[in-house]
Amino acid sequence: MSRPQILATDLHYRYPDGMTALAGASFAIHHGERVAIVGANGAGKSTLLLHLSGVLQPSQGQVTIDDLPVTEKTFTTVRQRVGLVFQDPDDQLFMPTVLEDVTFGPLNLGVPPEESQRRARECLEQVGAWHLRDRPPHRLSAGEKRRVAIAAVLAMAPDVLVLDEPTTGLDPRGRRQLIQLLKGFPHTRIIASHDLDLVLELCPRTILLHAGKIAADRPTVELMRDDQLLQRTGLERPLSMQCCPICNNK
Amino acid sequence: MSGGDQAFLEPGLLDRLGHGDSSIHRLDPRAKLVVTFAFVLVVVSHDKYAVSALVPFFLYPAALLALSGIPVGQLVRKLVVTAPFALLVGLFNPLLDRAPLLELAGLEIAGGWVSFLSILLRFALTISALFLLVATTEIPALGRAAERLGVPRAFVVQLLMLYRYLFVLADEAARMARGHRLRGARRHPHWRVFAQMIGQLLIRALERARRIHRAMLCRGFDGRIPLLAELRFQARDWAFLLGWIAAFALLRFAEPAQLLGKLVLGGGA
Amino acid sequence: MHMSDTLLSPEVGSALWVATAATVALSSRRLGRLQDDRTVPLMGVLGAFIFAAQMINFAIPATGSSGHLAGTMILAILLGPHAAFLTMASVLTVQALFFADGGLLALGANIFNLGVIPCYVIYPLIYRPLAGSAWGTARARTAAFLAAVLALQLGALGVVVETTLSGIAELPFAAFAAVMQPIHLAIGIVEGLITVAVVDFLYRMQPDLLGALPHNRRADTHPWRRAGVALGIGAVLLGGVGAWFASADPDGLEWSIARVVPGELPERGDGIHATAAQVQERIALLPDYALPGASAEEDAPTVIDAGTTLSGLVGGFLTLTTAFGLGWLLRRRTVRSTTNPVR
């Protein structure tokens, strides 16, 4: 078995106000894997994702990316390798226009302006948002914002894509477009989501968080059949795996 | 400042107008900014009894309106809404300045009325110019223009950030205010309630700032915001800038209104 | 209340633009040196917060009318004077653009009244000395309330002074002030109450947020500099207003001389005095305290002599710049000597 790309060992984290968010989480993710992170609200999903990109440092335990330990000192390297797409795209699109937002990352990394623009174009075209390049973010729809935020992260040329609740606020078409988009990426993908049907469709493996600990780390289909586990951890089956509400077929 | 939902819709309205497309919209923002400033300076440099001298200056907003396609109704609405303060103060002019200044068809007109009229004209001219500037230039473009004209970068970055997030926060504030009105309370919240409301708004704002900061860090932020300033002055920008400044100078010092009047009345008026 | 282009003269407007632009430049540089990258998103979002909060009107009890928040003191308490000033300046700028609140020329005056005065006069001279080092005490709350009230009073006074100096409106100083000051006292009291309530709310709900702000907690090492700023601003205001009031009466010295020596002072036309007089006439931008070209027998007597007030303002501004320049020079010398100890 090849070395894991992401290795989390016994992660503990406590917020400044004393609340424990992670109470010992460990897992290993390999190149190219597609892993979902699920759990009830407050289970610690977002906190875990912030640890993977080095924004937060654990009070105990460690994260390594390709054998590089994630610390305050290595943050500058880690943040380029792990691209984090935030839950609220308004937090992530902070420049006056879409193009300026997508070039923000490469320019900060020291990529020359022309090359940055070329990369931005490539990434925007990949998500189907090149025509929006001169728009200010506040005049984009929720779906457009999401796609632009992804493009902005892609422009950093990361190895890993981490997404926090990517389908929140999207209408059915927007959601479908997003799922198609995510299917096509070559990166290692880690997706935290309440949208269990997306999880079922996109990620063969699921990590279930409960009260800051990993309650399960299994193939998705298997986990989604474990009704007792799902109940205990505040979840239920994906809608596509539940009884049909029309004909009530099990 | 107008209250109610109108206030919340205003920025969006002007923002949308600013993103339009016309020959005026496409001009370099620096040219527009400088010309607007020059216009305002020249207009207010008039004597307080200037009335006929000010009238020709309406040429500028009229020309912009015609070329930019901005609806006249919007401008009129803006004028009506912003009128109160200046007019209220100006209204004292006729009351305090009673000395007759000129005679019109046998009627003695006090200086105060003339200066009041001058105030009205100044008001219409300066507000129109400013409105048309914003209606034909988006704020980020104005920010870029300001930076190229020497405004400190830290301030321009702040303007752009503010512009970016004011719609988001204005939305939150509007929802809060609407929620308050829908609960049958009187029109405006009591100050204590208001303090609670904006206290909540503030906490959310601070948390958002923290999240934005994190997002910035994740994309390599090191304290400096890179700005792509791609502004290039073209022939038509020079024409606009120099043409209008020359026109203002001419109108200010040659007083064509007087000349025209004298011409029409056949000299000696 | 906002100053308006309509009632502004180009001299007053430009003078205040110069003062404001200088402050923005100094503030930006100062902030750049503070090196905290959290400030960028924080200022942006808090500016948006103030902008949004100002859109909601609250009822002023016992008057039946409504008002809106200024919020400068809240910003100053949360961010410190420099960041608060730039944030407020940006809010006023965007408001001028989106709402035509006042106008482009008046923006300089508005930023001065509602930004420079609260952040660089009231905050250092009233709030910081009175409030102590942390929030939560009755002392701090009283200081905040007082600061808010005074900031609005001085801001309103600024509008009155600027309008009167401009000479477009006939409203005399005393009458205008008699209306503006009480109104802004009422608004100021509510603003003060809201300021205290909001900071208190933050303090109770999220004390860690309040503590995490890049507050300017540096010890008061330059009390003389603050005094210098206050004196400078006082000089500008005094120069302007005083010059206007004094325009009718001859200069103190000349007046006393006139009493002693009957008749006009003879012009010493010979030798060095003549040369000196010629040189002075050539150099002086504003010969004899009036604008060049302005005829002696101008308009009606009620017209304010713009030349006098301009020289008053220019004089005041030059005094301020000189004071600052000297202060800065002095500071550089002391800093150099303390950071380069002889080994």
Q: Is the pLDDT of residue A160 over 50?
A: yes
Rounded mean pLDDT, B39-66: 90
Contact A81, A66 (CB under 8 A): yes
- Is the CB of A94 less than 8 angstroms away from the CB of C41? yes
* Best of A50, A108, A140 to mutate (most B CBs within 10 Å, chain B): A108
Rounded mean pLDDT, A22-40: 94
- Is the CB of B40 less than 8 angstroms away from the CB of C56? no
- Is the CB of B169 less than 8 angstroms away from the CB of C201? no
Rounded mean pLDDT, B22-48: 91
Which of A53, A80, A94 has its CB closest to that of B216? Answer: A94
What's CA B180's distance to the chain center, in Å? 31
Q: Is B268 a domain residue? A: no
- Residue A178 CA to residue C3 CA, distance in Å, equals 50
- Given CB atoms, is C41 within the 8 Å cutoff of chain A? yes
Instruction: Mark whether B114 and B185 lie in a shared domain.
Output: no
* Best of B171, B219, B231 to mutate (most A CBs within 10 Å, chain A): B219
Q: Which amino acid is at C14?
A: S
Whole-structure pTM value: 0.81
Phi-psi region of C118 (alpha: psi -120 to 50; beta: other; left: phi over 0): alpha
**Of A69-73, A98-102, C75-79, C327-331, where does mean pLDDT reach its minimum?**
C327-331
Instruction: Mark whether B32 and B159 lie in a shared domain.
Output: no
Instruction: Mark whether B98 and B168 lie in a shared domain.
Output: no
Scan for tokens 């990394």, then name that residue: A109
Instruction: Mark whether B113 and B176 lie in a shared domain.
Output: no
Instruction: Mark whether B56 and B16 lie in a shared domain.
Output: yes
CATH code assigned at C289: 1.10.1760.20
If DSSP codes are grouped into helix, strand and coil, which group holds residue A27? strand
At B107-123, the pLDDT tens digits run: 777 778 888 888 889 89
Q: Is B92 a domain residue? A: yes
Across the A:B interface, residue pairs with CB atoms under 8 Å apart total: 79
CA distance C40 to chain A (A): 11
At B176-213, the pLDDT tens digits run: 888 888 887 777 888 888 999 999 999 999 999 999 99
Q: Is the pLDDT of residue C156 over 90?
A: yes
Q: Which domain holds residue C296?
A: 5-339
Cα distances (Å, whole numbers) of residue B95 to A175, B98, B179, C171: 67, 7, 45, 9
Instruction: Mark whether B41 and B11 lie in a shared domain.
Output: yes
Task: Name residues 32-91 of chain B within 8 A of C (Cβ).
Answer: 36-37, 40-41, 43-45, 47-49, 78, 82, 85-86, 89-90
* Best of C1, C3, C4, C6 to mutate (most B CBs within 10 Å, chain B): C6
ipTM for this model = 0.90
Contacts of B221 (CB under 8 A, 6+ apart): A104, A108, B213, C37
Rounded mean pLDDT, B87-103: 79
Please report how many Cα atoms fall inside a 13 Å half-sphere around the Cα of residue A66, on the Cβ side. Answer: 13
Which of B167, B208, B219 has its CB closest to that of A108? Answer: B219
Q: Write down the mean pLDDT value for chain C.
A: 73
Rounded mean pLDDT, A95-113: 93
User: DSSP readout, C122-183?
Assistant: IIIIIIHHHH-SSSSSHHHHHHHHHHHHHHHHHHHHHHHHHHHHHTSS---HHHHHHHHHHH
Q: Which residue of A has its CA nearest to C207?
A: A17
- Given CB atoms, is A84 within the 8 Å cutoff of chain B? yes
Q: Which domain holds residue B114?
A: 1-151+229-257
Instruction: Mark whether B142 and B171 lie in a shared domain.
Output: no
Tokens at residue B212, please? 């934005």
Name which residue leads in pLDDT, B29 or C339.
B29
At B3-27, the pLDDT tens digits run: 456 677 778 888 888 888 888 888 9
- Given CB atoms, is B151 within the 8 Å cutoff of chain A? no
- Is the CB of B164 less than 8 angstroms away from the CB of A152? no
Given this model, what pLDDT does residue B14 score?
A: 85
Instruction: Mark whether B49 and B64 lie in a shared domain.
Output: yes
- The sign of the torsion formed by the CA atoms of C297, C300, C302, C307 equals negative
- Residue C313 CA to residue C320 CA, distance in Å, equals 10
- Is the CB of C91 less than 8 angstroms away from the CB of B162? yes
Q: Which residue of B has its CA nearest to A136?
A: B164
Instruction: Mark whether B41 and B132 lie in a shared domain.
Output: yes
Q: Is the pLDDT of residue C130 over 60?
A: yes
- Is the CB of A17 less than 8 angstroms away from the CB of C208? yes
- Is residue C305 very low, low, confident or very high in pLDDT (cuts 50, 70, 90)? very low
Tell me chain C's radius of gyration from C-alpha atoms. Answer: 23
- The sign of the torsion formed by the CA atoms of B259, B261, B265, B269 equals negative
- Is the CB of A105 less than 8 angstroms away from the CB of B219? yes
Q: Is the pLDDT of residue C88 over 50?
A: yes
If DSSP codes are grouped into helix, strand and coil, which group holds residue A188? strand
- Is the CB of B212 less than 8 angstroms away from the CB of A91? yes
Q: Is the pLDDT of residue C209 over 60?
A: yes
Q: Is the pLDDT of residue C285 over 50?
A: no
Q: Which residues of C touch B217 (CB under 8 A)?
A: 37
Scan for tokens 């059915």, then name that residue: A172
- Residue A21 CA to residue A213 CA, distance in Å, equals 9
If DSSP codes are grouped into helix, strand and coil, which group holds residue A2? coil
Tell me chain B's radius of gyration from C-alpha atoms. Answer: 23
Instruction: Mark whether B106 and B213 lie in a shared domain.
Output: no
Q: Which residues of C touch A95 (CB under 8 A)?
A: none
Q: Is the pLDDT of residue C120 over 50?
A: yes
Among candidates A128, A119, A111, which has minimal Cα distance to A181?
A128
Q: Which residue of C has its CA nearest to A90?
A: C45
User: DSSP readout, A76-117?
Assistant: HHHHHHEEEE-SSHHHH--SSSHHHHHHHHHHHTT--HHHHH
Scan for tokens 């006056």, then name that residue: A96
Contact B54, B43 (CB under 8 A): yes
Instruction: Mark whether B171 and B234 lie in a shared domain.
Output: no
- Is the CB of C2 less than 8 angstroms away from the CB of B85? yes
Q: Is the pLDDT of residue B160 over 90?
A: yes
- Is the CB of A94 less than 8 angstroms away from the CB of C208? no
Chains interfacing with B (3 or more CB pairs < 8 Å): A, C
- Is the CB of B143 less than 8 angstroms away from the CB of A84? no
Instruction: Mark whether B110 and B141 lie in a shared domain.
Output: yes
Q: Is B267 a domain residue? A: no
At C90-118, the pLDDT tens digits run: 999 999 998 877 788 899 999 999 999 99
Q: Is B16 a domain residue? A: yes
Q: Is the pLDDT of residue C186 over 70?
A: yes
Q: Is B62 a domain residue? A: yes
Cα distances (Å, whole numbers) of residue C57 to A143, B192, B193, C74: 34, 12, 11, 17
Q: Which residues of B touch C299 (CB under 8 A)?
A: 47, 49
Q: Is the pLDDT of residue B135 over 50?
A: yes
The beta-carbon contacts of B31-35 under 8 Å, at least 24 apart in sequence, are B31/B233, B31/B237, B31/B238, B31/B240, B31/B241, B32/B133, B32/B136, B32/B137, B32/B145, B32/B240, B33/B133, B33/B137, B33/B142, B33/B145, B33/B146, B33/B149, B34/B149, B34/B241, B35/B240, B35/B241, B35/B244, B35/B245
Number of domains in chain B: 2
Task: Name residues 197-216 of chain C within 8 A of A (Cβ).
Answer: 208
Given this model, what pLDDT does residue C314 score?
A: 54
Q: Which residues of A touch B165 (CB under 8 A)?
A: 94
- Residue C87 CA to residue C324 CA, distance in Å, equals 23
At C68-85, the pLDDT tens digits run: 899 999 999 999 899 999
Chains interfacing with A (3 or more CB pairs < 8 Å): B, C
Rounded mean pLDDT, A47-67: 93
Contact C66, C57 (CB under 8 A): yes
Task: Give the length of chain B.
Answer: 269
Number of domains in chain C: 1
